[in-house]
A = this chain, B = another copy of it.
Amino acid sequence: MKTDDEKEELRSDCPVNFGLESFGDKWSLLIVRDMMFWGKRTYGEFLRSDEGIATNILAARLASLEKEGIISKKPHPADRRKEMYSLTEKGLELIPLLVEIVAWSGKLVEWQSVAGTGSPEQIRQVKRFATTKNKAKIIQEIRDAVAAGSYFFAPR
């Protein structure tokens, strides 16, 4: 019998495994992506993602990410039905990881051949991620945007 506050047992102490057990499922990083790049903050916005997450799975992933300390939630200031989710510092530290995933995909012809649906600006940025010699700059831009309550792909 398990108690509620019992820690989940880790498969191993390897830092790669630690990371994967924190965010390495099919959906968690997509939610994080939506917050970083698209400024999504509420349950309904996450539900409407391109990939079509199921509502029960979304609830489970949000709870898991919150438990891991990657996101936090508080009541929405303008609408008491809503919760506002945001990235913690621990979540913001995933920016370099997301940048690397984008960069990896962006280099591949396999991705380039399916990348038809993005806007020219989005595709330009993906290629920039894939070819830049200064990832720190990109990371800082994303961090600044999110910190300002905005997001990387905010129109300007």
Main secondary structure of the interface of A (DSSP, over half): helix
Any B CB within 8 A of the CB of A145: no
Given A29-B20, A104-B94, A104-B97, A116–B13 Cβ distance below 8 Å?
Answer: yes
Q: Which of B17, B50, B52 contacts A51 (CB 8 A)?
A: B17
Q: Would B18 and A105 count as touching, CB distance under 8 A? A: yes
Q: Which residue of B lies closest to A107 (CB)?
A: B93
Q: Would A126 and B25 count as touching, CB distance under 8 A? A: no
Chain A interface residue number, banded? 35 or more
- The distance from the CB of A15 to the nearest CB of chain B, in whole angstroms, is 4
Any B CB within 8 A of the CB of A101: yes
Any B CB within 8 A of the CB of A16: yes
- The distance from the CB of A81 to the nearest CB of chain B, in whole angstroms, is 28
Given A12-B50, A50-B11, A104-B93, A114–B26 Cβ distance below 8 Å?
Answer: no
> Inside 8 A of A101's CB, which chain B residues have their CB?
15-16, 19-20, 97
> Inside 8 A of A93's CB, which chain B residues have their CB?
104, 107
> Inside 8 A of A25's CB, which chain B residues have their CB?
24, 26
